[in-house]
């Protein structure tokens, strides 16, 4: 596993972490922190969070070899991208590159025999988004992007919220464009860039609604996870009346 992160955050620091979705947030892996989960061997690098232990949250989750979670229900749904290793539950084994969506009301007992690293988004499903998704991105064909050097792999779309992998060849430049519903990026490999900075592997960016940029890559190229249209979109409410609007 890649060791890039620094000391844990307190519960007070994580209860409402980067919860102002009108603000741009950039987290580089060297400046992030691991926090323990309720179960031994499972840690979280929290990216954004609204709520306590039950929360609308985006996290990088690390399973030590042999660690497991008890069976639990995802009241607001769960989205997973396996970054390293193999993630498992009673339904199957999901190696690096697997993309999973467990809809609201689904349950499982996840574990990892050899350890894994995941990107996880909780309680971010919109009303009516009840599709179970299992995609092996290693076996899924790429589609041509809008400019030379760009390839796209759509993963999911519902009610104007779209999720995809985007592969950038070295020295590719995209047009200046605006995101009416915001944009979220997790860099899977290489170095992604725009006029605001450079974002190496495992950097996370969240840009607010109507933000604008001109992205490009240098000699390294890049592979990124991208979600657009979700900031401000309706999502299922958290228990206890907490707001979960992105």
pLDDT averaged over 10-residue windows placed end to end, the chain, 246 residues: 41 73 93 84 94 88 94 93 97 97 95 98 95 97 97 97 98 97 98 97 97 98 98 88 44
Q: Give me the phi and psi of 13, to 5 degrees please.
A: -75, -25
Q: Which of 222, 154, 136, 162 is nearest to 187 (CA)?
A: 222
Tokens, residue 206 = 């969240």
Q: What is the pLDDT of residue 66?
A: 97
Per-residue confidence (pLDDT) for residue 13, from 0 to 100: 52
Decide yes or no: CATH 3.40.50.300 for domain 143-228.
Answer: no
Give the pLDDT confidence score for residue 146 in this predicted structure: 95
CA distances from 22 to 19, 210, 231, 238 (A): 9, 10, 9, 20
CATH number (3.40.190.10, 3.90.190.10, 3.40.50.80, 2.60.120.10) of 32-135 reads: 2.60.120.10
What pLDDT, on the 0 to 100 scale, is given for residue 7? Answer: 44
Q: Give the residue ranges of DSSP H helices in 92-160.
A: none
φ, ψ for residue 223, nearest 5 deg? -125, 125
Domain boundaries, the chain: 32-135, 143-228
**Predicted pLDDT at 2:** 34
Determine the pLDDT at residue 51.
86
Whole-number pLDDT of residue 190: 98
DSSP one-letter code for 242: -
Q: What is the pLDDT of residue 240?
A: 65
CB atoms near residue 14 (< 10 Å): 22
What's the pLDDT at 39? 86
């Amino acid at each position: 596993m890649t060791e890039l992160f620094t000391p844990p955050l307190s519960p007070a620091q994580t209860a409402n972490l980067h919860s102002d979705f009108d603000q741009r947030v950039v987290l580089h892996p060297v400046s992030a922190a691991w926090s323990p989960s309720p179960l031994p061997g499972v840690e979280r690098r929290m990216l954004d969070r609204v709520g306590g232990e039950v929360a609308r949250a985006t996290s990088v989750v690390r399973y030590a070899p042999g660690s497991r979670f008890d069976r639990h229900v995802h009241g607001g749904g769960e989205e997973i991208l396996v970054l390293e290793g193999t993630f498992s539950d009673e339904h199957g084994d999901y190696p690096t590159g697997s993309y999973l969506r467990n809809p609201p009301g689904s349950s499982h007992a996840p574990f990892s025999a050899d350890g894994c690293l995941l990107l996880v988004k909780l309680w971010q499903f919109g009303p009516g988004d009840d599709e179970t998704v299992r995609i092996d991105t290693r076996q899924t064909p790429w589609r041509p992007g809008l400019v030379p050097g760009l390839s796209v792999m759509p993963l999911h779309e519902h009610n104007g919220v779209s999720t995809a992998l985007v592969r950038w060849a070295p020295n590719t430049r995209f047009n200046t464009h605006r995101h009416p519903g915001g944009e979220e990026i997790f860099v899977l490999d290489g170095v992604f860039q725009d006029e605001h900075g450079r974002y190496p592997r495992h950097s996370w960016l969240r840009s607010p609604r109507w933000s604008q940029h001109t992205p490009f890559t240098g000699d390294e190229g890049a592979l990124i996870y991208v979600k657009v249209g979700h900031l401000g979109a309706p999502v299922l409410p958290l228990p206890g009346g907490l707001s979960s609007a992105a």
